[in-house]
Amino acid sequence: MTHTGNAGTGGGPAAAVEEGPAGTAVAAVATAETARSTGASPTAYDVVIVGGGAAGLSAAVALGRALRSVAVIDAGEPRNAPAEGVHNFLTRDGINPFELQRIGRAEVESYGGTMIAGTAVAARRTSAGFAVTLGDGTVVSGRRLLVATGLTDELPDVAGLQSRFGRDALHCPYCHGWEVRGTEIGILASGPRAMHQALMFRQWSARITLFLHTAPEPTDDELEQLAARGITVVRGSVAAVVVVDDALIGVRMADGSRHPLDNIVVGPRFVARSEVLESLGIHAEEHPTGAGTFVPSAPGGLTAVPGVWVAGNVADPMAQVVSSAAAGLMAGAGINADLTAADLNEAVRVYRLAGARTAS
């Protein structure tokens, strides 16, 4: 398959794709600045972004507005896809996650950015930057790489739970707390975060039950805290969530007993979607909170590998939509600064060469 890149607007360089071996599409790499200085047709993106959620799209807008050519490769499955609306994003309260993505894509394209639908499976370093391979064999190249692929929520293994996630199986009080205020809420304990979640969700409802499930028995201090906040503790493991007419109505315990609920709170393991980075030798690490994995980076998102940035949930499992967008903006600004420095170095090199020729 051959992908033809879109020309940048406002002076941004065009991007083109050449046919590679065995029919694969290969975006030839030539820096935009080299192209400008030589007058040759520019043939690669300044920046390839993998992941078009809040973080990746925000970076792409910042880079497009900086007259950089940008390609965003996106599989179209934002983490919050099952949720009806996005909350705590000032001026966008309640917007559907796909509508947010649609608007973001349009903004990227309005600044000349190119959206590419697909899944990136690997990346490799090239002489002038990075080449990203998609699942269909397409290769997209750029001088810098930003990975904003988000994370996967791994849920406890309870029958029926997965299909309720983001609807009446919840993890984040700031995403859903207002919507479930005052309802009958169960906390499914599967790790150390459960105590925190139980005491936190108590802010939104006085009707909280902590199901110890696979978590250890609370300490005496914790039991006192739970009692002080009127939180009921149920021992034993939860076998299944009970659903009627597409609504959760409770849980069934392993011993067969049932407890009525309106919503259940889970503690997913947050797993960074880091596959593309792994192929460049950048590895996800355990997050200090024990909540899952993340890809370490410097403030602004630069990883240990020069030229590669991360932003959003892949780098910070706690990031919300607005903070992921903010991280994308900062990464975009950092990448533009890095490209500006590289362009300056190249200009000085060319200038000196020209000076040497004039002098000789």
Ligand X SMILES: Cc1cc2nc3c(=O)[nH]c(=O)nc-3n(C[C@H](O)[C@H](O)[C@H](O)COP(=O)(O)OP(=O)(O)OC[C@H]3O[C@@H](n4cnc5c(N)ncnc54)[C@H](O)[C@@H]3O)c2cc1C
Residues that bind ligand X (CB under 6 A): 50-56, 73-80, 82-83, 86-89, 119-120, 148-150, 153, 166, 172, 175, 273, 276, 312-313, 319-322, 324
Residue closer to ligand X, measured from CB, 32 or 161: 161
HSE of 142, CA atoms in CB hemisphere, 13 A: 31
Residue closer to ligand X, measured from CB, 71 or 199: 71
**312 in Cβ contact with 60 (< 8 Å):** no
Residue closer to ligand X, measured from CB, 174 or 351: 174
- DSSP state letters, 115-151: EEES-EEEEEEETTEEEEEETTS-EEEEEEEEE---E
Q: Measured at the alpha carbon of residue 57, what is the angle toward residues 54 and 62, in degrees to the nearest 5?
A: 120
Least distance (Å) between residue 300 CB and ligand X:
15
Distance in angstroms (rounded) separating the CA atoms of residues 90 and 117 = 28
Least distance (Å) between residue 268 CB and ligand X:
8
Residue closer to ligand X, measured from CB, 12 or 301: 301
Q: What share of the chain is helix, strand, coil (3-state, %, to 5)?
A: 30, 25, 45
Three-class SS state of 1 = coil
Least distance (Å) between residue 164 CB and ligand X:
10
Phi, psi of 338 (to 5 degrees): -65, -45
Least distance (Å) between residue 192 CB and ligand X:
20
Residue closer to ligand X, measured from CB, 15 or 319: 319
Residue closer to ligand X, measured from CB, 33 or 204: 204
Nearest residue to 262 (alpha-carbon basis) of 170, 174, 135, 132: 170
Least distance (Å) between residue 177 CB and ligand X:
10
Least distance (Å) between residue 285 CB and ligand X:
17
Burial class (CB in 10 A: 0-12, 13-18, 19+), 302: middle
